[in-house]
């Protein structure tokens, strides 16, 4: 496994964790207002 692939995987993992965290901790109303264009 080369370093570049590992770096990309790490970034994806971090993104998933941050996404889960925000989904659990940010109020629904705020998320909905952000999703709307």
Query: How would residue 33 be classed by pLDDT, with cut points 50, 70 and 90?
Result: confident
Question: What residues make up the domain containing 12?
Answer: 3-35
Residue position matching structure tokens 């790490």: 10
Residue 5, pLDDT score: 93
Mean of pLDDT over the chain:
82
Q: Which of 2-11, 15-24, 27-36 has the lowest mean pLDDT?
A: 27-36
Spatial neighbors of 22 by CB under 8 A, at least 6 apart, are 31
Q: What's the total number of domains in the chain?
A: 1
């Amino acid at each position: 496994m080369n370093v570049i692939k590992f770096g990309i995987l790490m970034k994806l993992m971090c993104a998933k964790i941050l996404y889960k965290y925000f989904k659990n901790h940010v109020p629904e109303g705020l998320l909905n207002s952000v999703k709307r264009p």
